[in-house]
Amino acid sequence: MKFTFLGQSCFLIEFGGKRLLTDPFIHPDLKTTQFSITDLKPDYILLSHGHGDHVQDLKEVLQKSNAILISTYELVSYYEDIAKGGHGMNTGGKYKFDFGVVKLVSAVHSSVLPDGTYGSNPVGFVIWNDNSSFYFAGDTALTMDMKLIPLTCPSLDVAILPIGDNFTMGYEDAVIAAEFINCDQIIGCHYDTFPPIEIDKTLAVAEFKSKGKTLHLVELNNSLEI
Ligand code: NI
Ligand code: MN
């Protein structure tokens, strides 16, 4: 698996021979560079909820790609006129795609689209195939529901967890989340993009290390292969 960080909760993930893009929000610093949305060419987009810091660039990515949108039924319906394809789901359900199985899991947060349209309950994603697995938590608080993931899904190789606090769990709670999901390799997201979610990265990394876990903080437009 290869994870390229594009800002906030946006990752381009190479998985099962396909390109999966999560919560399209390209960091403003990247937009001032040679970065091109046309070059992203995702096969699928995973959308966790409707907040602006997750859908900011979704329309443009849908217009400039042939990506299939995977999200809740409500969010897929909202974008059906722009998307070339969509697959609506809901919490607790799983479906086998050509790259692997996608299961929607609970996230404790809120969700509304920028124009005020109801954004469905927020969700996280657990994704696996015969070779690898990961969890993309979306925006969420620490929740006991995370303990269901090891009971209902194959063991996780990697998890992308929000660590910026204020709008989601902070890194202290994310360490407990990592324990709940039995995962040692964590990629942090949803931090440092705006002042309320700025964190002390050294302390965050140390907190995970103290529990025998690794927190990867991938630089913008850089990749991590696991
Ligand atoms: Ni949010
Ligand atoms: Mn957010």
The residues placing their C-beta within 5 Å of ligand 1, an ion, are 51, 139
pTM for this one? 0.98
Ligand 1 center to 167 CA (angstroms): 7
Q: Which residue has the tokens 């899904």?
A: 153
Give residue limits of the domains in the chain.
2-219
Query: What mean pLDDT do residues 28-57 have?
Result: 95
Residue-wise burial string across 71-110, b where 16 or more C-beta atoms lie within 10 A, e elsewhere: bbebbbebbeeebeebebbebeebeebebbbbbbbbbbbe
**Nearest bound ligand to the CA of residue 162:** 2
For 117-155, write each residue's pLDDT tens digit: 999 999 999 999 999 999 999 999 999 999 999 999 999
pLDDT-derived band at 91, boundaries 50, 70, 90: very high
CA of 77 to the centre of ligand 1 (A): 19
Distance CA(60)–CA(152), nearest Å, equals: 35
Q: Quick check: 177 pLDDT over 90? A: yes
Question: Which CATH number describes the domain made up of 2-219?
Answer: 3.60.15.10
The lowest-confidence range among 34-38, 68-72, 117-121, 156-160 is 34-38
Cβ(40)–Cβ(13) under 8 Å? no
